Chain A
């Protein structure tokens, strides 16, 4: 059932990931997927594409940053202490895989612009580096990831042209791409993130242990790139 996007490159396994910059399990999931790929023997044949998802669509990029703990407390009517305890559990989970979450200083904002930067980075072959830098900026450094100047700095940190990145954000060049991702997620019935799709066929919901990602990679690789049909197709193409 692989779609047309995969028909164009049968020698590559594509992993599509829906996530949000402010999603704590997305950062963990991406890190765990990266760890799985380090163990996967065909990692050089895997492409990971990141798609936009808004966990807090009520937040505008122009809104003043708010504490995610306060936001969680207010939205669900929880005592602040309870929201803090939930965040502490998430922080501990992150620590277990080597991530340093400092949610007490995180600043929740609208993330549409940050997602646009991810799409810009994709055009430069730097999307994974950009996504990881955005996660770190939000979860560890307490930066405002809706601020254009901050985003420009983050782009430069991963080797992108700062001015070109800012121009793309200012012009809204990738705004439609972000909305298209969000709409695609809605059509696919994606109700939570991170959400991983392997080879356009197999889905994994949520951050998973490395072993689970490895299994998903193995299964999807075997059925697509590593299948006899794919090998025949590749050799036939090579002979032209």
Chain B
């Protein structure tokens, strides 16, 4: 794994919004997203913006 110098500062530029994220993996509230959320199995966990990690 490398961390690139040339492209390290910019976030991905998404030019065309795709489908919206139907639901967060952790079961949290739906959030509009330009990304396709990959279905995964049991997550180790996620920390929400309210500071709760589950």
Contacts and interface: CB of A to CB of B under 8 A. Distances in A.
Interface of A: 1-6, 8-9, 12, 14, 16, 20, 23-26, 28-29, 32-34, 37, 43-44, 46-51, 55-56, 71-72, 75-76, 86, 90, 93, 97, 119, 121-129, 177, 180-181, 184, 188-194, 197-198, 200-209, 211-212, 215-216, 219
B1 to A, nearest CB: 4
> Which 6 A-B pairs have CB atoms at the shortest separation, nearest pair first?
A122-B8, A3-B13, A206-B46, A203-B35, A189-B31, A127-B3
Contact of B14 (A1, A51, A180): A1
Interface in B10-47: 10-16, 18, 21, 24-26, 28-29, 31-38, 40-47
17 contacts: A1-B14, A5-B13, A20-B47, A25-B44, A43-B1, A51-B11, A124-B5, A127-B3, A127-B8, A188-B35, A192-B46, A192-B49, A198-B38, A205-B37, A206-B25, A206-B43, A206-B46
Given A205-B43, A207-B43, A125 B3 contact: yes
A121 B35 CA distance: 27
Contacts of B44: 25, 28-29, 32, 93, 97, 206-209
Given A48-B2, A126-B3, A206-B43, A14 B8 contact: no
A3 B41 CA distance: 28
Given A72-B51, A191-B31, A209-B44, A219 B38 contact: yes
A71 B3 CA distance: 33
